[in-house]
C-alpha cells in the first residue's frame, strides 16, 4: 500500500467487554467468526466484575491461551474517562507496570490524567520491552476547539506516546469537522501516530472516515458496544471496503 492508502484504512480494533472468565469461550467464538475484520483486540480490564489485579492477570492469560490471532491492546478505563474502573493512581500504575514489564500485551493504553511521573516511567519501561504506548484522553461532554485538541495531541507527543488518542463528544456537525481538523493537523505536524474519534450517534461517521484524516486505529466491537457510537467490526470492515477501489 502507498502512504495515502494506509491513511484511508486504519487498523480495526475489536473491543471486548468480559465480565467473568465464563465469557471467554463465547467471546473467542465471536472473534473467530469475524477474524477477517479484526487487526487488534482491546482487552478492557475495567469491565470485569472482579477487578483485583490477580483476577485481571488470570483472565488475561486465560483469554490469550484461547485466542492468539491478533495483537492485544490492554486498557483499564477509569470512571472519569468513561469506563468502569475505580483504581486509585498507585494501583492503576501497578497494573500498568506489570502488563508492560512482563510483556502481557503488545499495546497498552494509558490515560493522560495519570500522574506524569508514573506515566513517564511506564513509557520508559515500554520502550525497553517493545510495548507500544497509547496515551488517551476522552471528553464525554463536549468537543474542544481545534487548537485545544491539537495542544492535547502535542502534549501526548511530548510525553513520548507512540500513539495519541483523543475521543470527544460532538453536539453538531461542525464539531465533527473540528475533531478531524485537529487530528489531521497532528498527523502532519507531530512525530507520533494519532487516533481521533467523535463519539455518539452523530460521530459514527468518524469511525469510518477517520483514516482518511490520519487516524491509525478505529474501534469497533464484538459482543456488546463498549463506547457510545461504536460499530460492529464486521460493519466497519464492509464500509471501509467501499473506499478500496
Binding residues for 3-dehydroquinate, by number, are 42-44, 77, 207, 230
Cell (9 digits) for 173: 456537525
Active-site residue identified among 7, 104, 137, 138:
138
Which positions make up the binding site? 42-44, 77, 207, 230
CA atoms within 13 A on the CB side of 27: 25
137 classed as catalytic: no
Count Cβ atoms within 10 A of the Cβ of residue 151 and give its class: 0-12 exposed, 13-18 middle, 19 or more buried: middle
138 classed as catalytic: yes
Distance CA(166)–CA(105), nearest Å, equals 21
Q: How far is CA 54 from CA 33, 75, 179, in A?
A: 30, 16, 38
Active-site residue identified among 165, 204, 216, 237:
165
Q: How far is CA 166 from CA 9, 59, 64, 200, in A?
A: 18, 28, 27, 14
Task: Report the 3 state secondary structure along 115-140.
Answer: CHHHHHHHHHHHHHCCCEEEEEEEEC
Catalytic residue numbers, as ranges: 138, 165
Amino acid at each position: 500500500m502507498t502512504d495515502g492508502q494506509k491513511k484511508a484504512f486504519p487498523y480495526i480494533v475489536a473491543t471486548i467487554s468480559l465480565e467473568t472468565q465464563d465469557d471467554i469461550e463465547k467471546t473467542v467464538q465471536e472473534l473467530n467468526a469475524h477474524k477477517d475484520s479484526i487487526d487488534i483486540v482491546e482487552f478492557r480490564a475495567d469491565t470485569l466484575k472482579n477487578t483485583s489485579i490477580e483476577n485481571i492477570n488470570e483472565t488475561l492469560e486465560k483469554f490469550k491461551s484461547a485466542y492468539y490471532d491478533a495483537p492485544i491492546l490492554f486498557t483499564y478505563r477509569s470512571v472519569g474517562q468513561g469506563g468502569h474502573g475505580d483504581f486509585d493512581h498507585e494501583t492503576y500504575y501497578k497494573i500498568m507496570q506489570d502488563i508492560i514489564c512482563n510483556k502481557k500485551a503488545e499495546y497498552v493504553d494509558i490515560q493522560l490524567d495519570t500522574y506524569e511521573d508514573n506515566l513517564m516511567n511506564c513509557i520508559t519501561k515500554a520502550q525497553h520491552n517493545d510495548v507500544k504506548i497509547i496515551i488517551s484522553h476522552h471528553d464525554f461532554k463536549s468537543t474542544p476547539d481545534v487548537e485545544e485538541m491539537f495542544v492535547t495531541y502535542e502534549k501526548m507527543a511530548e510525553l513520548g506516546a507512540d500513539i495519541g488518542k483523543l475521543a470527544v463528544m460532538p453536539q453538531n456537525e461542525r464539531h465533527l469537522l473540528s475533531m478531524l481538523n485537529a487530528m489531521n493537523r497532528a498527523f502532519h505536524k507531530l512525530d507520533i501516530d494519532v487516533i481521533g474519534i467523535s463519539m455518539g450517534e452523530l460521530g459514527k461517521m468518524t469511525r469510518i472516515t477517520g483514516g482518511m484524516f490520519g487516524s491509525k486505529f478505529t474501534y469497533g466491537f464484538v459482543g456488546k458496544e463498549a463506547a457510545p457510537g461504536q460499530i460492529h467490526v464486521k460493519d466497519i470492515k464492509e464500509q471501509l471496503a467501499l473506499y478500496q477501489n
